[in-house]
Structure 1
Amino acid sequence: MEKFDWCVRTGATEELDVFTTQAQFGDGYKQVAGSGINSVRKSWSVICSGSKDEIAVVRSFLKAHVTASYWWVNPWGEQKLYRIKADSIRPNFINGNFVEIAFTFEQAFAP
């Protein structure tokens, strides 16, 4: 299984989705439980930057991993499986040879 090894810019943003099942009762009591064995799902919005040739390699990896999982060590130091969110790949040409590419990692639980 491949690993995402490129450096990402500082400022990566984590989003946690916690899936729950809830029951609200008339007396104000609320029952809350985790939903499923993977009830917490993480995603990370990140940016890589570099020369057009360097970022072309990153872009190719991103496109290939919308449907295939890969390993990535997030800023917390946790190595987890991720996939690229399908509609998140956004290259930005700063000048003729310098490119920033923004994208989102979504946690995966199987290859």
Structure 2
Amino acid sequence: MKTFTWDISQDSTETTTINAKTVAFGDGYEQAVSFGINPNRKTWQCSKTDTKAVIDEIYRFLIGTKGVEAFNFQPIKSEPIIKVRLDGDVTRNQEGGDAWKISFALKQVF
């Protein structure tokens, strides 16, 4: 399995979605249950600013997965590696000179 080896920007964000179902019975009574084998899923909104050569490497890596191939990702070095796939668009733009920025979203898979 491929591994995403580049550091991402500190302004990248992680969201954890908890899949739970709640049934309301009336008079304020509810029953809640987690749904699925893996009820917690992480998503990442990532960005990185670097030279065009580095941004192009990241772009080729991401596009090469075609949005369906999972790969290893460790956004926070003190936390475990997770398996993710590309989720949506990849955006590249020139910030000025040889500085370029890439933005993309990743979704945890199991």
TM-score normalised per structure 1: 0.89
Residue 63 of structure 2 is matched in structure 1 by 63
Alignment of 1:4-19 (within 5 A): 4-19=4-19
| Counterpart check, 1:24 vs 2:24 | yes
2 CA distance for matches of 1:43 and 1:60? 21
Gaps of 5+ in 2: none
User: Identity across aligned pairs (percent)?
Assistant: 27
Residue pair 2:7, 2:75 contacting (<8 A) in 1 also:
no
1 CA distance for matches of 2:53 and 2:11? 23
> Deviations for 1:85-110, whole angstroms, at most 9, x for unmatched residues?
123x111211242101011111011x
> CA RMSD, aligned part only?
1.3
Q: Comparing 91-100 with 26-35, which one deviates more in the overlay?
A: 91-100
Residue 81 of structure 2 is matched in structure 1 by 79
What is the number of equivalent residue pairs in this alignment? 108
Residue pair 2:88, 2:104 contacting (<8 A) in 1 also:
no
1 CA distance for matches of 2:85 and 2:11? 20
Gaps of 5+ in 1: none
Moved over 2 A (4+): none
Greater strand proportion: 2
Residue 48 of structure 2 is matched in structure 1 by 48
> What is the Cα deviation at residue 5 of structure 1?
0.6
2 CA distance for matches of 1:53 and 1:73? 22
> What is the Cα deviation at residue 47 of structure 1?
0.9
TM-score normalised per structure 2: 0.90
> What is the Cα deviation at residue 51 of structure 1?
1.2
